[in-house]
Amino acid sequence: MAQINYLTRIEFGEGEINRLPEFLSDLGIKRPLIATDAGLAATGLVAQVAELVGTAAIYDRTPANPTEAAAMDAFAIYNEEGCDGIIGLGGGSPIDLAKAVRILTGHPAPLGQYAFVNGGAGKIGPDIAPMIAVPTTAGTGSEVGRAAVIITEDGRKLGLLSPYLLPSIALCDPELTYGLPAGLTAATGMDALTHCLETYMSQAFNPPADGIALHGLGCALRSLETATQDGQNRTARRDMMAAALEGAMAFQKGLGAVHALTHPLGAIRELNLHHGTLNAVLLAEVLRFNRPVIGDKWDVMAALMGDAPDSYVTALNARIGMPSGLRAMGVTDAMIEDVSHAALKDHCHATNPRTATREDYLEILRNSM
């Protein structure tokens, strides 16, 4: 049997940010907490959104890989300021942090108890604050995802999963990505592309997800390089926001070995590595690992790419300036031993089309160094 759920309210289009007060009113939110990060605050966008809202509290200290400690700090502000809803504004990190705060509005700490690998999905109920997700990057798709990935108190990077974590409204305005630097456009774009590929390869039965993933993949293949080279290109920016959205709409089907590895890699605190960049570096090796079991799907991907998928990804990474390997990102041989162990416990491990052992994960990591 297969359970297929789609999804949440999505408001998509250029200029939609100006309707934010209307959407807050629809949800009965009078004083939201805006969860964001310092980088976005420095651009002036956070202040513009706060002015548009009229009355809001702001938490702008979201780390690049959000932590339970940061979520608790943001929740304290939520309570102190008398907030009644949440806006997640930024990339996947602020939106995931907003989801973690949302859990805390109706459930006790610690957050680790709600991790999927700890059997926590059933502990998250509907009695939580409403939330609007406003992405300013085109990568994670967290605005339509049912997960928040958080580094918990014990140092593990874990997925908190529940249909109740789907934002009440996803406000997707491609204009908010026009100022995204080329490097971040490339890295977040590879995140979206990876989501589309991994969900398509997953063996779970979900035909709508397959169709959505392939459409999102087509958008990314068509526009990622253009968006990286010309951040003001309206069509390319719209395509990439659609690719991010569709990748996440599809990954209720399950991700795979790329994410099983990037989650523990992202939890290495001394490195604080970017998730999309890690996906880009690992993707070609995981494609090669999965090829023996995915059958005709390899040919479908190859037809869209015009080349063998692993070769295409390797060449694309070089063209858009992704690192040459994990070692160039500071990852050491000693680190990958722990990562290979942690990958086996990640919630994405079970939905990779080919079951990986610890030795398989080590080989993927070594070949990606």
Question: 230 in a domain, yes or no?
Answer: yes
Tell whether 18 and 144 lie within a shared domain.
yes
How many whole angstroms separate alpha carbon 79 and alpha carbon 347? 31
Tell whether 123 and 209 lie within a shared domain.
no
Last residue in a domain, options 142, 160, 176: 176
**Amino acid (1-letter code) at residue 88:** G
Tell whether 172 and 186 lie within a shared domain.
no
Tell whether 125 and 218 lie within a shared domain.
no
Query: Would you state the structure tokens that stand for residue 1, as one six-digit string?
Result: 């049997």
* Look-up of token digits 């001394």: 270
The pLDDT score that the predictor gives to residue 2 is 52
How many whole angstroms separate alpha carbon 134 and alpha carbon 169? 9
The pLDDT score that the predictor gives to residue 86 is 98
Residue 356: give the domain boundaries: 180-367
The pLDDT score that the predictor gives to residue 1 is 47
Tell whether 330 and 201 lie within a shared domain.
yes
Last residue in a domain, options 161, 176, 191: 176
Tell whether 191 and 277 lie within a shared domain.
yes
Last residue in a domain, options 120, 147, 176: 176
Question: 244 in a domain, yes or no?
Answer: yes
How many whole angstroms separate alpha carbon 331 and alpha carbon 145? 29
Tell whether 129 and 241 lie within a shared domain.
no
The pLDDT score that the predictor gives to residue 3 is 55
Alpha helix positions (H), 114-233: 182-201, 207-229
Tell whether 224 and 144 lie within a shared domain.
no
First to last CA, the chain: 39
- The domain spanning residue 145 has which CATH number? 3.40.50.1970
Tell whether 228 and 356 lie within a shared domain.
yes
Q: Which of 59, 28, 145, 164 is nearest to 103 (CA)?
A: 164
Question: 271 in a domain, yes or no?
Answer: yes
Tell whether 106 and 188 lie within a shared domain.
no
Question: 4 in a domain, yes or no?
Answer: no
The pLDDT score that the predictor gives to residue 288 is 98
How many whole angstroms separate alpha carbon 253 and alpha carbon 206? 6
- Which value, to the nearest 10 degrees, does the dihedral of the CA atoms of residues 68, 69, 73, 78 take? 10
Handedness of CA 125, 199, 96, 349 (dihedral sign): positive
Q: Which of 4, 1, 57, 37 is nearest to 251 (CA)?
A: 4
The pLDDT score that the predictor gives to residue 6 is 66
- Domain count of the chain? 2
The one-character DSSP state at 285 is H
SS3 151: strand
pLDDT tens over the chain, length 369 residues = 455 556 789 999 999 999 999 999 999 999 999 999 999 999 999 999 999 999 999 999 999 889 999 999 999 999 999 999 999 999 999 999 999 999 999 999 999 999 988 998 899 999 999 999 999 999 999 999 888 999 999 888 888 989 999 999 999 999 999 989 999 999 999 999 999 999 999 989 999 999 999 999 999 999 999 999 999 999 999 999 999 999 999 988 899 999 999 999 999 989 989 999 999 999 999 999 999 999 999 999 999 999 999 999 999 999 999 999 999 999 999 999 999 999 999 989 999 999 999 999 999 999 999
Tell whether 214 and 143 lie within a shared domain.
no
* 172 strand-pairing partners: 12
How many whole angstroms separate alpha carbon 23 and alpha carbon 111? 28
